[in-house]
């Protein structure tokens, strides 16, 4: 039986996917590197330096480690300028209800986020108290699509992976959930999410009864 739901943050609960995307686009234009929608889609769920490496695939020169760290920091500055102003309005529609309904159904609720800004966002949006266990990028060694982050969330919740459902908007995230031995619900209409067990257009369509009965 299902005992826990583990949510991704960016693009599932928080309206941040476009904020990340715009910050990367600004950096790309400053570097003169081409950036298209497919580039942005591939970055979803991937940690900060991994996302930068995707951006730099089309750069016309190589960047040393110290330059890459500085570029990642610059992007994070653009991103932080926006999320510092966030409040509960930036919760995606239905996100709070989806979490509350999961808790009301007697299930545990976890968060598995590749972002180092996860705690800040949870506080700003006023939902930090709704999670039984939070795992962010600072607590794991291997980024999504590796299963480590979802496995760590299950362990923190005190449940087995096969008793968990993961909810993700990123291809790397769905891969991570499935590799952890969990059922995956994909959010959004990207063709890159076709391998999930179930699909919903957005978190407002998440109905916990669908997975518990």
> Counting contacts by CB under 5 A, is residue 21 touching Mg ion?
no
Nearer to ligand BG6, 74 or 103 (CB): 74
Q: Is position 42 an interface residue for ligand BG6 (rule: CB under 6 A)?
A: no
168 strand-pairing partners: 186
Catalytic residue at 36? no
Tell me which of 11, 110, 145, 156 binds Mg ion, using CB under 5 A.
Answer: 11
Q: Any contact of residue 168 with ligand BG6 (CB under 6 A)?
A: no
User: Considering only residues 141-160, where is the footprint of ligand BG6 by CB under 6 A?
Assistant: none
Is position 43 an interface residue for ligand BG6 (rule: CB under 6 A)?
yes
* Residue 43 interaction partner, one of Mg ion, ligand BG6, none, beta carbon < 5-8 Å per kind: ligand BG6
Which of the ranges 4-12, 25-33, 91-99, 147-155 carries the binding residues for Mg ion, by CB under 5 A? 4-12
- The residues binding ligand BG6 (CB under 6 A) are 9-11, 20, 43-48, 51, 76, 113-117, 137, 170
């Amino acid at each position: 039986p299902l005992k826990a739901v583990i949510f991704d943050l960016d693009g599932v609960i928080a309206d941040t996917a476009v904020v990340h995307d715009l910050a990367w686009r600004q950096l790309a234009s400053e570097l003169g590197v081409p950036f298209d929608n497919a580039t942005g889609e591939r970055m979803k769920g991937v940690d900060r330096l991994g996302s930068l490496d995707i951006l730099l695939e089309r750069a016309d020169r190589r960047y040393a480690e110290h330059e890459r760290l500085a570029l990642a920091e610059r992007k994070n500055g653009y991103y932080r300028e926006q999320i510092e102003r966030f409040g509960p309005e930036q919760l995606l529609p239905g996100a709070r209800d989806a979490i509350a309904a999961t808790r009301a159904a007697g299930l545990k609720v976890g968060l598995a986020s590749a972002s180092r800004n996860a705690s800040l966002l949870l506080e700003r949006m006023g939902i930090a108290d709704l999670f039984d266990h939070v795992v962010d990028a600072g607590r794991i060694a291997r980024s999504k699509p590796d299963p480590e982050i979802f496995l760590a969330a299950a362990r923190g919740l005190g449940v087995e992976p096969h008793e968990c459902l993961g909810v993700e908007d990123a291809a790397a995230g769905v891969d991570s959930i499935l590799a952890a031995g969990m059922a995956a619900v994909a959010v959004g209409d990207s063709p890159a999410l076709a391998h999930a067990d179930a699909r919903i257009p957005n978190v407002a369509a998440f109905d916990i009864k669908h997975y518990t009965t």
